[in-house]
Amino acid sequence: MEEKILLGHGSGGRMMNELIHTLIREKLGADSVQLDDSAVLAVEKGEIAFTTDTFTVTPIFFPGGDIGKLAVNGTVNDLAVMGATPLYLSVGLILEEGFLLSDLGKIMDSMRRAADEAGVKIVTGDTKVVEKGKGDKIFINTSGIGIFHGPRQRRQIGPGDLILINGFIGDHGIAIMAERNGLSFSAGLTSDSAPLNHLISAIIRAFPDSIKFMRDATRGGLVAVLNEIVQGQGFSARLQEGQLPIRPEVAGVCDILGLDPLYAANEGKVVLVVKKEAGEAMVKIMRGMKEGGQAAVIGEMAGEFPGQVFSRTPVGGKRLLNLLSEEQLPRIC
């Protein structure tokens, strides 16, 4: 019989010690995960970025990744879009009684791989066990610390600035929905979960003065990010529908399930607002990198309809892209 998480694994006794030392810490990296109450980390004088995110995804394994990969990349990306270099992560686990130890092992392996790929260290952690029916297999909180190289600048966004994205829109959300709905033709559709810090670092180095805004488009999708930018402002965000990078498979699943990829979650996409003159060159740099193969200019900030996000259809029509009250999708991340 497969070994399962028991309430005793969360007890503070010997079972918990064994679980943490032989499985969790071993797999996350016994050389980096510190054992004291806090990890002790060296920092340079200056500013650090500090972020937290909790992951509660169903299913926990899906095409292109799992909840562990999401948890590492999500927090890495929250630091990267601030312009910080992600360095250190914490991992807080809530395990449901009965969860398979083998699945926990797979997820810890996946977190370690993702951390290695992003170049961050998991330095501290915590594990709690809840009764069956009081959780959902596994929830993961990752908090993260990054450092800034040089002073941070805030630049004013305005009409004429370009909107860029580093690749296909909506892959994660639609892959999860396809998986949940057992859509067999979805073969090949995978989550885009990926660390964005290397890509962002490359474009900051190449264009230190041209980036006005960066944000990873997760829950709420591209539309949520753009609404946040324009809300209460004297300008709008205008997308050009023909120019949006959307996989045919994603468009297909969206047609069948009645979803809009612009509102779907991404887990490896950054939305950038940049000075007009730098846009095309920045797209070129991103296209030369693993996480930016399908980068594109997808729209621009405009003076018309201030405070709104909208798209122009290929024939010149206008479609308003409001923030939804709730979610178009069942919860996916």
Tell me if 140 sits within 8 A of 69, measured CB to CB.
no
Among 23, 93, 239, 278, binds its own copies (CB under 8 A): 93
Site for its own copies in 155-214 (CB under 8 A): none
Alpha carbons 160 and 147: distance in angstroms, whole number:
31
Tell me if 135 sits within 8 A of 73, measured CB to CB.
no
**Does residue 90 touch its own copies according to CB under 8 A?**
yes
Among 3, 22, 30, 47, binds its own copies (CB under 8 A): 47
Task: Name the one range near its own copies by CB under 8 A: 110-118, 244-252, 293-301, 320-328.
Answer: 320-328
> Could you tell me the smallest distance in angstroms from the CB atom of residue 223 to its own copies?
9
The token duo for 248 is 């045919």
**Does residue 31 touch its own copies according to CB under 8 A?**
no
Site for its own copies in 63-82 (CB under 8 A): 77-79, 81-82
Residue 160 DSSP label: T
Site for its own copies in 216-275 (CB under 8 A): 216, 218-221, 224, 265
Task: Name the one range near its own copies by CB under 8 A: 41-49, 108-116, 189-197, 312-320.
Answer: 41-49
Q: Which residues contact 14 (CB under 8 A, 6 or more apart)?
A: none
Tokens 């297999």: give the residue. Answer: 137
Tell me if 7 sits within 8 A of 131, measured CB to CB.
yes
Tell me if 229 sits within 8 A of 223, measured CB to CB.
no
Distances (CA, A) of 199 to 105, 165, 253, 270: 29, 12, 29, 10
> Could you tell me the smallest distance in angstroms from the CB atom of residue 185 to its own copies?
27
The dihedral over CA atoms of 272, 276, 282, 287, expressed in degrees to the nearest 10, equals: 80
The pairing of beta strand 270-274 with beta strand 211-216:
antiparallel
Bridge partners (DSSP) of residue 124 are 90
Among 5, 71, 72, 84, binds its own copies (CB under 8 A): 84
What 3-state class would DSSP assign to 158?
Answer: coil
**Does residue 54 touch its own copies according to CB under 8 A?**
yes
The token duo for 286 is 């991103």
The token duo for 167 is 């690749």
Closer residue to its own copies in complex, CB, 109/327: 327
> Could you tell me the smallest distance in angstroms from the CB atom of residue 59 to its own copies?
13
The token duo for 111 is 């977190």
The footprint of its own copies on this chain (CB under 8 A) covers a number of residues equal to 79
> Could you tell me the smallest distance in angstroms from the CB atom of residue 308 to its own copies?
14
> Helices in 197-296 by DSSP H: which ranges?
197-206, 221-230, 248-257, 279-287
Q: Which amino acid does the sequence have at 76?
A: V
Q: Which amino acid does the sequence have at 241?
A: E
**Does residue 327 touch its own copies according to CB under 8 A?**
yes
Among 1, 2, 31, 37, binds its own copies (CB under 8 A): 37
**Does residue 1 touch its own copies according to CB under 8 A?**
no
Closer residue to its own copies in complex, CB, 104/224: 224
Closer residue to its own copies in complex, CB, 233/240: 233
Among 3, 13, 153, 251, binds its own copies (CB under 8 A): 13
Among 62, 88, 207, 235, binds its own copies (CB under 8 A): 88
What 3-state class would DSSP assign to 164?
Answer: strand
Contact code string over 104-143 relative to its own copies, x by CB under 8 A: -------------------xxxx-xxxx-xxxx--x-x-x
Closer residue to its own copies in complex, CB, 49/203: 49
Closer residue to its own copies in complex, CB, 19/178: 19
